């Protein structure tokens, strides 16, 4: 009996030592989110809470920003290692940003919708010269509003686009009547409809050849720590698999992260899970559209060789 007890204690001590060694080896990785409230970036929180990054030796520090531009500034200053951003943010690389696309995170822009006040414009054709807020100039939201204008035949500037930063300020401005509408994530859009404070006017359901989101790594982490890059992407795609197979658990995490009730979050889950990539590979047609968008957003003067802005070498095999 004593011998068995000693063996059990020895096993427990060994397990504790192994756990301590694993914890000691874990490295802190700083990951930026372009915005704090979007369901698009919930896979990071799922991976943290389910331990998918931890088991690969990564401690994740999640940092939220008010748009791609501010997150890119943080990357240039060495404040983040990985960035969860938009497809059009690839243009910053062509302008010298010290990052590179390492995975196509999501395809069609199912996340976003143009929302107006209940008494606002009735159709997209009524948005001519109307004031519609976006996060920042040169952002994904800016591109989609300008794309809406172009599709109406007005060119990219037929809608008066107002960069206004974080979403709470945009919603407050719309309620006051300072702007006619705002482009926002579908969670906020559905919540505004539920509260009777807004109406979804435009969705982007037919833009299949697109990369709404891309995962970026800084040049420093790509060169100095390729093992961490691969580990991060493995953890990310395990999170996507978990989310597809576990709606209830995902909704609980997402509702807390996005500060929405579970009814709204359940609807958002159904709307958005189809857009996530399972492998992170970039698509040629989507890159062609992004190349045009970079010129229309005045990020670049002419279209560029998109193959220089991303790499697939770190994707899980």
Task: Supply the DSSP symbol for 261.
Answer: -
- Lowest-pLDDT range of 59-68, 114-123, 289-298: 289-298
Position 60 confidence tier, pLDDT thresholds 50, 70, 90: very high
Predicted local distance difference test score (pLDDT) of residue 16: 45
Q: How far apart are the C-alpha atoms of 59 and 25, rounded to whole Å? A: 10
Residue 132 sits at the vertex; the CA angle it makes with 127 and 134, to the nearest 5 degrees, is 145
Question: Which residues face 99 on adjacent strands?
Answer: 218
Q: Decide: 106 and 185 in contact? Cβ < 8 Å.
A: no
311 three-class SS:
coil
Instruction: Convert the pLDDT of each residue in 230-258 to its tens digit.
Output: 999 999 999 999 999 999 999 999 999 99
In sequence order, which residues have a C-beta less than 8 Å from that of residue 177 and are 6 or more positions away? 117
Tracing tokens 């709404």 back to the chain, one arrives at: 212
In sequence order, which residues have a C-beta less than 8 Å from that of residue 315 and are 6 or more positions away? 102, 103, 233, 279, 280, 281
What stretches of 7-154 adopt beta strand conformation (E)? 27-33, 58-64, 82-86, 99-106, 112-116, 131-134
Query: Residue 205 above 80 pLDDT?
Result: yes
Q: How far apart are the C-alpha atoms of 193 and 191, rounded to whole Å? A: 5
Mean pLDDT, the chain, rounded, equals 89
Higher pLDDT, 298 or 141: 141
Query: Residue 23 above 70 pLDDT?
Result: no
Pairing status of strand 27-33 against strand 82-86:
parallel
Q: Decide: 186 and 269 in contact? Cβ < 8 Å.
A: no
Query: Residue 182 above 90 pLDDT?
Result: yes
Burial (Cβ within 10 Å: 0-12, 13-18, ≥19) of residue 172: exposed
For the chain, which domains are there? 26-109+210-308 (3.40.190.10), 112-203 (3.40.190.10)
Q: How far apart are the C-alpha atoms of 215 and 221, rounded to whole Å? A: 13
Q: How far apart are the C-alpha atoms of 174 and 158, rounded to whole Å? A: 19
| pTM confidence score | 0.83
Predicted local distance difference test score (pLDDT) of residue 208: 86
């Amino acid at each position: 009996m004593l011998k068995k007890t000693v063996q059990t204690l020895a096993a427990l001590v060994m397990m504790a030592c192994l756990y301590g060694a694993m914890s000691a080896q874990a490295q802190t990785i700083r990951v930026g989110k372009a915005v704090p409230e979007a369901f698009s970036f919930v896979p990071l929180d799922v991976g943290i809470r389910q331990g998918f990054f931890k088991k690969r030796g990564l401690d994740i520090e999640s940092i939220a920003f008010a748009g791609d531009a501010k997150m890119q500034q943080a990357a240039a200053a060495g404040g983040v290692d990985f960035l969860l951003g938009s497809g059009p943010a690839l243009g910053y690389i062509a302008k010298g940003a010290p990052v590179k696309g390492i995975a196509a995170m999501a395809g069609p822009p199912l996340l976003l919708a143009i929302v107006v006040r209940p008494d606002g414009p009735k159709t997209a054709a009524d948005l001519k010269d109307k004031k519609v807020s976006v996060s920042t100039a040169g952002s994904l939201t800016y591109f989609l509003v300008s794309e809406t204008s172009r599709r109406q035949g007005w060119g990219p500037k037929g809608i008066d686009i107002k960069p206004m930063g974080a979403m709470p300020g945009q919603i407050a401005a719309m309620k006051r009547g300072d702007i006619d509408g705002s482009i926002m994530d579908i969670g906020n859009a559905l919540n505004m409809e539920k509260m009777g404070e807004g109406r979804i006017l435009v969705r982007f359901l037919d833009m299949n050849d697109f990369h709404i989101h891309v995962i970026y790594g800084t040049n420093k982490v790509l060169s100095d720590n390729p093992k961490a890059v691969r580990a991060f992407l493995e953890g990310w795609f395990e999170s996507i698999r978990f989310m597809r197979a576990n709606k209830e658990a995902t909704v609980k995490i997402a509702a807390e992260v996005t500060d929405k009730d579970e009814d709204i979050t359940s609807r958002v889950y159904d709307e958005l899970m189809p857009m996530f990539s399972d492998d992170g590979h970039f698509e040629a047609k989507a890159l062609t559209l992004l190349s045009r968008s970079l010129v229309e957003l005045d990020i670049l003067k002419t279209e560029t060789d998109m193959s220089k802005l991303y790499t697939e070498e770190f994707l899980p095999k």
